[in-house]
A and B are shown apart, each in its own frame.
Chain A
Amino acid sequence: MTSLLDTPTAAPDAPAARPERRWCAALGLLPFALYFLVFLGGPLYFVISGAFTDADGLPTVGNLVASLTSPQYLLAFRQSLVLSAVTAVIGAVFGTFLAQAVLTARPRSPLRRIVSTASGVLAYFGGVPLAFAFIAALGQTGLATAWLRSAGLDLYASGFRIDSLAGLALTYVYFQIPLMVILITPALEGLLPQWREAAENLGASAWSYWRLVALPVLAPAFAGATLVLFGNAFAAYATALALTSGSIPLVPTAIASALSGNVLVGQANVGLALGLDMVVVIAVVMVAYLWLQRRAARWSRR
């Protein structure tokens, strides 16, 4: 089964390989590593090298400076950061509640299956269908808009637009919550029932169990998953592209228009510099994530 919700456990058996054969065995990992290096490392290499060269191929830091000082790019960065942070926190909190609510159901119940498979589809579909679903629901003629209007709340009269930053945030949460469910479920499953029983035997209420035992244990995993959600929203572009055709200034929008020469001819290298800025932000987030992951693993290495 597609057990995206199950904990990936480490192999139970001790490594049996003799040391001199380990190097031969390592060759088995080569195709995977090479593929990663060529098709992920390759594009990244050209982004980095292109960011540091000008249109004539000479080394420069001008692109980087431009990408970090022009007002239009600063605005794009601010909007992207706010959008990612807000949707990551909302998605993380609601995703954790949803994951816990689903976990209290039996493991093979239809609810578990529906949520687990739907999370996979929604978290990885990339956002085009989501954009159209939200246009159908909350667009000018959408069903939810019509319902709200008949209930006395005229969204569009109060200034709401689905292709605004708020509309985009609402749509992003639609894939952030499922991703959080996928990421946090293993940690929630790691909370042993014995801990709750021990706490209850010592006289703890449900609230003090969560506050003093469960939440401190969950904290690193929760923070780590929130960071992945942040990175996910920061990197996302498909939804924005389908929903707004690039009318909201976000970093990916700025990169795409710089690459296509919409702004000025010869801006392609500034686009690559913006890409490098993005990678740096993501790299910082990932380092923090890996550090938190190590802390979270303390409790799963029982």
Chain B
Amino acid sequence: MTRGRRWRVVVLALAALYFLIPLIASAEFSLRAPGGGYGVANYTRIAEDPVLLSALFTSLRIAVLTAVVVLLLVVPTAVWVRLRFPSLAAVLESATILPIVIPPVVMAAGIAFVQANLGGPVFRALFDSSTSALTPFYVILALPFAYRAVDNGLAAIPLRTLVEAARNLGAGMTTALVRVVLPAVRSAVLGAAFLTLALVLGEIVIARILLYTDTFPIAVVEVGRSAAGVSVALSLASLLLTWVLLLAVSFVGSRRRRSSRSRPSAPRRNP
């Protein structure tokens, strides 16, 4: 046992070194003041810079829209697959890993081709603004982990019992979904939403190739050419903010579950 423990400590210490040093260095770098010494000027820059500020709002709008579309697609589908098509679960699991490995640059290349060569009212409306053009494709990028997160949430609740009870009490399928299932998996849903936020705040490839340069991550990279400290400060802030949100969801979600269910969920087995 002691040998096992020592091995664990070494691995965790190495991981802590590798993962913390860049973050600590970012914090130090972002707090450097131009004339020497330290200050928070790099962090307050976002309040004074109208370009950065409007880029942040654009990206937050895209993030919210993306999260809404993702959840509208994922929650009903994941519930439906668990209730009606358990045999399809493995297929969907594989399908949802696809966008992780479909290169965003290839997606962007295909979209850029449409943008350059096809006209018509549908495409004009699609490519009208960064919000309308980027949201549909960010949804694709966000689907894999959103599906996994929601599906894991559904695995932890007695889904069939809940839905059947709701329907026996006269609820329609939509009501059962919105008023019974959704509250039961709300922490998984919130987690999926915050990961979508992380994705939108970090995506530059599609936006850059399609020339929608008014999004937050692009603005962060651009400002880095003249003021690297601002870029480091803003990216560190967005990374930590997302992580704190996810951590909070993780704690709140489990506290609720522990109080409402006496028995910890045992691993399920097929009959």
Contacts and interface: CB of A to CB of B under 8 A. Distances in A.
Interface of A: 1-4, 6-15, 17, 22, 25-26, 28-29, 31-32, 35-36, 39-40, 42-47, 50, 94, 97-98, 100-102, 104, 108, 111, 113-114, 116-118, 120-122, 124-130, 132-138, 142-144, 173-174, 177, 206, 228, 231-232, 234-238, 241-242, 252, 255-256, 259-260, 268, 271-272, 275, 278-279, 282, 285-286, 289-290, 293, 297, 301-302
26 contacts: A1-B153, A1-B191, A8-B151, A12-B268, A12-B271, A15-B87, A35-B139, A43-B108, A43-B111, A50-B109, A50-B113, A111-B12, A116-B250, A125-B198, A125-B199, A128-B220, A132-B232, A144-B22, A206-B4, A235-B102, A236-B103, A238-B205, A272-B109, A279-B106, A286-B98, A290-B94
A39 B73 CA distance: 13
Interface of B: 3-4, 7-8, 11-12, 14-15, 18-19, 21-26, 28-30, 73-74, 76-77, 80-90, 93-95, 97-114, 116, 136-137, 139-140, 143, 145, 148-149, 151-153, 155-156, 159-160, 187-188, 190-192, 194-195, 198-199, 201-205, 208-209, 217, 220-221, 224, 228, 231-232, 235-236, 238-239, 242-243, 246-247, 249-251, 253-254, 257, 267-271
Given A3-B156, A259-B209, A133 B235 contact: yes
A228 B101 contact: yes
Nearest to B228: A135
Q: Lowest 9 A-B CB distances belong to which pairs?
A: A2-B191, A43-B110, A126-B202, A137-B25, A231-B101, A129-B235, A136-B29, A235-B103, A1-B253
A101 B11 contact: yes
A130 B243 CA distance: 14
Contacts of A232: 100-101
A30 B112 CA distance: 27
Contacts of B103: 234-237, 252, 275, 278-279, 282
Contacts of A133: 22-23, 25-26, 232, 235-236, 239
A29 B80 contact: yes
Given A228-B101, A256-B209, A15 B86 contact: yes
A29 B246 contact: no
A186 to B, nearest CB: 10
A101 B8 contact: yes
A205 to B, nearest CB: 11
Contacts of B86: 10-11, 13-15
B113 A39 contact: no
B228 A275 contact: no
Contacts of B243: 117-118, 121
B253 to A, nearest CB: 4
B271 to A, nearest CB: 7
Given A3-B156, A121-B246, A133-B26, A252 B205 contact: yes
A148 to B, nearest CB: 11
Contacts of B85: 15, 25-26, 29
Contacts of B202: 124-129, 238
A47 B153 CA distance: 36
A259 B112 contact: yes
Contacts of B23: 133
A14 B271 contact: yes
Contacts of A302: 269
Given A2-B246, A101-B12, A242-B224, 5 more contacts: A3-B149, A47-B109, A143-B25, A252-B105, A268-B116
A13 B268 contact: no
Contact of A4 (B15, B77, B152, B204): B152
Contact of B195 (A2, A40, A46, A108): A2
B270 A4 contact: no
A53 B65 CA distance: 36
B257 A1 contact: yes
Contacts of B15: 94, 98, 101, 177
A17 to B, nearest CB: 5
B14 to A, nearest CB: 8
A1 B89 CA distance: 21
B46 to A, nearest CB: 15
